[in-house]
Amino acid sequence: DHQIVSMPMPSSGGTLLAQMLKMVSYEDLSKYQMNSEEAVQIMVEAERRAYADRAEYMGDPDFIEDKTQMLISNDYLKSRWKSFDKNTATPSKDVGKIINPNQKESTETTHISILDKFGNAVSVTTTLNGLYGSKTVVSGAGFFLNNEMDDFSVKPGVPNMFGAVGGEANKIEPNKRMLSSMTPTIVLKNGKPYIVVGTPGGTTIPTSVYQSIVNVIDFKMTPSSAVNSAKFHHQWLPEVVFVEKNFPENTLKILEQKNYKFEKRGGIGRTEMIVIDENGNATAVADSRGDDSVAVE
Ligand code: DON
C-alpha cells in the first residue's frame, strides 16, 4: 500500500530498490525479526537477483534501451524469485551471467603467415605494443595509437615491459625508431618458400620463431608439434629461463643441478606457421595457445 518515488536511470538505485522491495514482498518478512537468519536470507537473495540485473541491463538510457519497466514488473520479478530456496544460497552464477574477471586483454601484437596459390609467401607482424597501445583512438579513423616508446631503452639498465634492458644503442633520440623484437620470417629451401612463420610475444618472439624452425628442421617434428610443444625463453637478463607450464620436469631437474634457474610462465608466443613440402603442398598451423585459426581458400 505504499508508493516509492526514487531515482531513475542512469542511477540503478530506484530500480534496484523497487526490485528488492517487490521481491521480498513475495515472502512475509514481517514474520521475522530484523537480522534473523530468515530475514537476512530473503533480503540477500533479493539483493543477489537485483544486482545481477544491474550488471546486465542497467546503464544510461541515452545509450541503451531502458528496461526499467520490465525489470520492476511483478511478472518478471516473480519468475526471478522462483529460484529462491530457503534451504540454500542460490549460486550467483544461476541468476546472472558472470563475466570472467580474470579474462585478460592480450598485449597487442598480431602475426599472419600467408601463402597464395602461386607460391608467394608473406609473413607480417604488426604491433601496438601493450594493452590497447597508448589507449588513444584516432578520431574518425577507428584505430589505436601504439605505445611503442616502451620499446626504446628509457634509461640504461631499466627494463621495459618485456624485461628487456638496453643502453646507448637503443636510447631515445629524435627521428629514431625503437628496437623491436618482431621476427616475421620466411625460410627458403632451394630458393623457394619452405617455412613462413612469426608470432607476437615481445622479447619472446625471436625465441619462439627460432625454436619453431629448429623443431621442424632439426627435430623433424610435424608443423603442429613444432608450434604447440612446450617452449622456453631466455633473454640474458633476468638470469632465468622461462618455461611453459607443461615443460618436461626431468629436463628442468637436471639443468637445475647445473645452476640454471627456471621460472614457469604462461604461453610463450602464438606462432603461426606454414610449412611447404617439395611438391608445394602446404601445412598451416595456428597456435593453440591463442584463439588463432587457419583459413584455406
Ligand atoms: O616490437 C616489439 O618487439 C613489441 N612491440 C612487440 C610487443 C608484443 O609482441 C606484445 N604482444 N604480445
pLDDT reported for residue 120: 96
pLDDT reported for residue 166: 85
Is the CB of 180 within 6 Å of ligand 1?
yes
Specify the residue for cell string 583459413: 295
The Cα 91–Cα 267 span in angstroms is 32
- Pull the grid cell for residue 295: 583459413
The Cα 142–Cα 124 span in angstroms is 21
The Cα 244–Cα 229 span in angstroms is 9
* pLDDT tens by residue, 209-228: 999 999 999 999 999 999 99
Is the CB of 199 within 6 Å of ligand 1?
no
Atom index in ligand 1 nearest the CA of residue 150 equals: 5
HEC readout, the chain: CCCCCCCCCCCCHHHHHHHHHHHHHCCCHHHCCCCCHHHHHHHHHHHHHHHHHHHHHCCCCCCCCCCHHHHCCHHHHHHHHCCCCCCCCCCHHHCCCCCCCCCCCCCEEEEEEEECCCCCEEEEEEEEECCCCCCCECCCCCCECCCHHHHCECCCCCCCCCCCCCCCCCECCCCCCCCCCCCCEEEEECCEEEEEEECCCCCHHHHHHHHHHHHHHCCCCCHHHHHHCCCEECCCCCCCEEEECCCCHHHHHHHHCCCCCEEEECCCCCCEEEEECCCCCEEEEECCCCCCCCCCC
Of 137, 128, 138, 135, which is closest to residue 108 (Cα–Cα)?
A: 128
Task: Report the separation in Å between the CA atom of 90 and the middle of ligand 1, taken as the mean of its atom positions.
Answer: 44
Task: Report the separation in Å between the CA atom of 107 and the middle of ligand 1, taken as the mean of its atom positions.
Answer: 7
pLDDT tens, per residue, the chain with 297 residues: 888 899 999 999 999 999 999 999 999 999 998 888 998 999 999 999 999 999 899 999 999 999 999 999 999 999 999 999 999 999 999 999 887 767 665 667 999 999 999 999 999 999 999 988 999 999 999 999 999 999 998 888 889 999 988 888 889 999 999 989 999 999 999 999 999 999 999 999 999 999 999 999 999 999 999 999 999 999 888 999 999 999 999 999 999 999 999 999 999 999 999 999 999 999 999 999 988 999 998
Q: Which pTM does this prediction carry? A: 0.68
109 carries an active-site annotation:
yes
Task: Report the separation in Å between the CA atom of 203 and the middle of ligand 1, taken as the mean of its atom positions.
Answer: 7
The Cα 252–Cα 262 span in angstroms is 7
